[in-house]
C-alpha cells in the first residue's frame, strides 16, 4: 500500500535562520528596487521578484501603496513549491525531503531565472528551482508561469516539468503556496454541502499550526478588519491548508495553500490554473463563482487541461491511507 505522508505544509518557512538579518539585506528578496517587474492594468498592480525565480511578491489595487502579500524571505511569496521523497538533507536541524522551491533556499540563495517575457498586463517566466534545505540547483526541474491581469482578476497558469529518472511516492502538494500580509487575519470560506446557493460563509481564525479545510466552492480568502482581503481560487482543488505565523515581527504572515496529491514520475509535467482577486468576501465569492463552476476534466500525464492539473500518476482511492501518516512539510 502506498503511504501518503500528509504535509504539515509550510508553517512558515519562518525560523530565525530565515530572517532578513540572518540572510543579510543583500539577500532579502526584493531588497533592490531593480529586482522587481510590475504589471498594472489600472485595476490591479502585481509585482514579481526576479531574484526569486519571478515569484509573486506584490499585489495591490492600482494606485495603492499597500502590499497585501508577504515577501519577507524566499519562502514567503506566491510561488511553486513541491515535495518528493525524504533525502539526506536537513532544513537547519530538521530532516528534510526533495523540495524544489521557486524562490530559492532558506539561507537566501538565488535560483536561476532562465527567461522572462513581459507585456503591460502579462508576464511569462521560466526558472530552475533550488532545494529548499540544501540550496542545490535542481536541474531536473523547470518551473514556468503565465501571469495575466484580467480587469479585477489575476490569472496564473503554473507548470512544473520533471526530467529526473527517479520515481517518488505521492505527497500532498501546494498549488500554490500563498503568503499574505499579517493584517489579513480572518480566513473566509464555504464549508457547507450546497455550494453556490448563497449559503452563509464560515469565518476561521487559524493558529500557528497547519489546519485543513475542505473547500466545496474551490476558493478561500484571508481578509482584514475592514473586511477586505485576497481570495485564492484553484478550480481543481478541494482542500486547503492554512495557518497564521505571529511572533511580533516582519516575518508575521497569513498563509494558505490549496492542495492536491501527486508523485514525481520521470518525464512528467504538472499544470494548473490559479486565480486571485482583492475585495470583501462576498465580492470575492461572486468573482470566483463562474470560474469554479467550469467543468473540470482529468487529462492524462503530460497533457494540458483547462482547469485541472496534468498530474503524473494520481494514486487510486484504494491506495490511500484513511488515517494521517507521518507529517512532512515546512514547519517551525
Domains of the chain: 16-319 (2.70.98)
Q: Give the tens place of pLDDT for each residue, 247-269.
A: 878 889 999 999 999 999 999 99
CA 332-101-218 angle, to 5 degrees, is 80
| pTM to 2 decimal places | 0.85
Q: Give the tens place of pLDDT for each residue, 83-120.
A: 999 999 999 999 999 999 999 999 999 999 999 999 98
pLDDT at residue number 298? 40
CB atoms within 10 A of CB 118: 15
Please say whether the beta carbons of 310 and 296 come within 8 A: no
- What are the two backbone dihedrals, phi and then psi, of residue 264, each rounded to the nearest 5 degrees? -65, 130
Give the chain's largest Cα–Cα span. 54
Can you spell out the DSSP letters for 210-238?
-EEEE-TTSEEEEE-TTSEEEEEE-TT--
Q: Comparing C-alpha atoms, which of 316, 322, 276 is closest to residue 298?
A: 316
Whether the per-residue pLDDT at 186 is higher than 90: the answer is yes
Give the rounded percent of residues in the chain with a pLDDT score beyond 90.
Answer: 75
Name residue, grid cell 490559479.
274
Query: What is the rounded (10 degree) CA torsion for 69, 70, 71, 73?
Result: -160
pLDDT at residue number 2? 34
Amino acid at each position: 500500500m502506498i503511504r501518503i505522508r500528509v504535509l504539515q505544509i509550510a508553517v512558515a518557512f519562518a525560523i530565525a535562520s530565515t530572517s532578513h538579518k540572518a540572510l543579510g539585506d543583500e539577500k532579502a528578496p526584493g531588497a533592490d528596487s531593480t529586482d522587481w517587474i510590475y504589471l498594472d492594468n489600472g485595476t490591479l498592480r502585481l509585482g514579481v521578484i526576479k531574484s526569486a525565480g519571478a515569484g509573486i511578491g506584490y499585489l495591490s489595487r492600482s494606485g495603492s501603496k499597500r502590499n497585501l502579500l508577504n515577501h519577507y524571505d524566499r519562502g514567503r511569496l506566491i510561488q511553486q513549491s513541491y515535495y518528493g521523497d525524504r533525502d539526506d538533507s536537513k532544513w537547519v536541524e530538521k530532516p528534510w525531503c526533495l523540495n524544489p522551491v521557486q524562490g530559492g533556499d532558506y539561507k537566501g540563495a538565488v535560483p536561476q531565472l532562465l527567461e522572462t517575457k513581459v507585456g503591460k498586463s502579462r508576464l511569462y517566466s521560466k526558472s530552475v528551482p533550488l532545494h529548499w534545505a540544501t540550496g542545490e540547483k535542481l536541474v531536473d526541474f523547470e518551473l514556468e508561469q503565465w501571469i495575466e491581469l484580467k480587469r479585477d482578476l489575476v490569472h496564473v497558469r503554473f507548470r512544473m516539468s520533471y526530467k529526473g529518472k527517479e520515481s517518488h511516492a505521492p505527497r500532498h502538494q501546494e498549488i500554490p503556496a500563498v503568503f499574505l500580509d499579517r493584517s489579513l487575519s480572518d480566513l473566509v470560506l464555504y464549508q457547507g454541502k450546497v455550494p453556490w446557493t448563497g449559503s452563509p460563509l464560515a469565518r476561521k481564525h487559524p493558529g500557528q499550526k497547519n489546519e485543513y479545510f475542505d473547500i466545496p466552492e474551490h476558493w478561500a480568502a484571508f481578509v482584514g478588519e475592514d473586511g477586505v482581503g485576497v481570495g485564492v481560487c484553484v478550480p481543481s482543488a478541494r482542500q486547503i491548508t492554512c495557518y497564521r505565523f505571529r511572533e511580533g515581527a516582519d516575518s508575521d504572515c497569513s498563509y494558505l495553500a490549496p492542495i492536491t496529491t501527486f508523485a514525481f514520475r520521470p518525464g512528467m509535467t504538472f499544470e494548473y490554473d490559479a486565480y486571485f482577486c482583492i475585495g470583501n468576501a462576498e465580492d470575492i465569492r461572486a468573482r470566483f463563482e463562474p470560474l469554479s463552476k467550469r467543468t473540470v476534466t482529468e487529462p492524462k500525464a503530460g497533457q494540458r487541461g483547462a482547469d485541472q492539473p496534468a498530474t503524473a500518476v494520481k494514486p487510486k482511492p484504494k491506495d490511500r491511507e484513511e488515517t494521517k501518516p507521518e507529517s512532512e512539510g515546512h514547519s517551525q
